[in-house]
Structure 1
Amino acid sequence: MVFERKKLLRLSRVTGDYTDIVFVWDPRTRKVAAFDQEHRELTPLASFEDFIARPGRYIDALV
């Protein structure tokens, strides 16, 4: 997927009740990010290693 000329790799299909938010990999920053499709906002979250170690921490932060 592309957002503001950035190529992003979509990591999630849906995130529970929040169907407008998907997790993506941003190769420019080398971080996992949350992309809000409704508001067109990209929020960097953490490195891949940190995200995999504690995914609940980052998922809960979005709610």
Structure 2
Amino acid sequence: MALTLHTRNIIRVIDNGVIVNCVILKMCLEHVVVKFREKQYKVPYHLIDEVIGHELLVALEDE
């Protein structure tokens, strides 16, 4: 089964038995950049288990 990813998707990541839900901020060739507990992390695609939703409320950034 293939995953279809977009920015602002909420994904489930499993690493060493730890399951976390985080939001995709940016997609790169070998990893995604996610937001988890207000920090950003690089996550390789093979650690993404499932797309579980989409963040509907997006904070506005100052122009």
Q: Which is helix-richer, 1 or 2?
A: 1
Higher alpha-carbon Rg: 2
TM-score by length of 1: 0.33
Give the structure, 1 or 2, with the largest relative contact order (CA under 8 Å, sep 6 or more): 2
Q: Which is strand-richer, 1 or 2?
A: 2
